[in-house]
Copies of this chain bind each other. A is one copy, B any other.
Amino acid sequence: MDTVVQTRRLGLEGSQTRARFIDAAEEVLRDEGLPALTARQVAAKAGLKTQLLYYYFRTMDDLILALVRRVNERRLVRFEAALAAPEPLRALWELNSDPTGAALASELSSIATHREAIRAEIVRSAENFRALQIEAVSRLLVPDGSRSAAGIVMIAVALARMIVSEAALGLTDGHAEALVIVEQMLDRLSTPKQTAP
């Protein structure tokens, strides 16, 4: 039996209207948070009718999934750009310190925790991105043997994310001291001169 379960509605992929809904969803999620990510509020932000959203997305979960995929694609593009920068390690740090990306990542992580349908997609792309970053950092490090690129990536990503999200709340205690450590590390690791034996 052919599983043609989807009997009634349509939906197009390359549509510009569809993209407007995804844009609006991203904006709502970033600015108002997860409880505001509703069909009505997304449509209002897009300047379109609520019911039209259901022509392009079967359910709200489908819209969120489309948003997740677009966020991930954009992150990969920016990652490649960072690797091509004059100081790639510093560019990676700045990529991970982007406030817009951090706010979205935080909300998406919250979605992944509680929505089975979204979790797989988020985890899969997070694993992919983590592997790419570890590989890149491993190539960029001064090869002094004792350092684990994976550990450094974990610490840097975690620290960047926390600093950005706390700063958005107006909480900055300890940030300056942590950034001093990061700067020292970036200076040391980015300059491939010989260190003392």
Interface residues of chain A, those whose CB is within 8 Å of chain B, are 31-36, 103, 106-107, 109-114, 119, 122-123, 126-127, 130-131, 134, 148, 150-151, 153-155, 157-159, 161-163, 165-166, 168-171, 173-175, 177-178, 180-181
Q: Are B154 and A175 in contact, CB atoms less than 8 angstroms apart?
A: yes
| Chain B residue nearest in CB terms to A175 | B154
Please determine whether A162 and B154 come into contact, CB atoms closer than 8 angstroms: yes
Beyond A33-B114, A109-B106, A113-B168, whether A154 also contacts B161 by CB under 8 A is no
In the complex, what distance in Å separates the CA atom of A108 from the CA atom of B109? 13
Min CB gap A53→B, angstroms: 18
Measured in the bound complex, the distance between the Cα atoms of B106 and A113 in whole Å is: 11
Q: Give the complex CA separation of A119 and B110 in angstroms.
A: 18
Query: Are B159 and A154 within 8 A (Cβ)?
Result: yes
Is the beta-carbon distance between A151 and B181 smaller than 8 angstroms?
yes
Residues of B within 8 A of A163 (CB): 154, 158
Pair A169/B109 contact, Cβ less than 8 Å: yes
Give the docked Cα–Cα distance between A22 and B151 (Å): 38
Question: A178 vs B119: C-alpha distance in the bound complex, in angstroms?
Answer: 23
Residue on B with the closest CB to A115?
A: B33
Which residue among A106, A174, A178 has the maximum number of chain B CB atoms within 10 Å of its CB? A174
Which A-B residue pairs are the 7 nearest by beta carbons? A150-B177, A33-B114, A154-B178, A158-B162, A158-B158, A150-B174, A151-B177
Known: A110-B106, A154-B159. A122 touches B181 (CB 8 A): no
- Provide 12 A-B residue pairs closer than 8 Å at the C-beta atoms, listed in order of the A residue: A31-B114, A33-B114, A106-B109, A109-B165, A127-B173, A130-B174, A153-B174, A154-B175, A154-B178, A155-B158, A155-B178, A158-B158
Q: Which residues of B contact A181 (CB under 8 A)?
A: 148, 151, 155
> Are B33 and A174 in contact, CB atoms less than 8 angstroms apart?
no
Name the B residues within 8 Å of A177 (CB-CB): 148, 150-151, 154
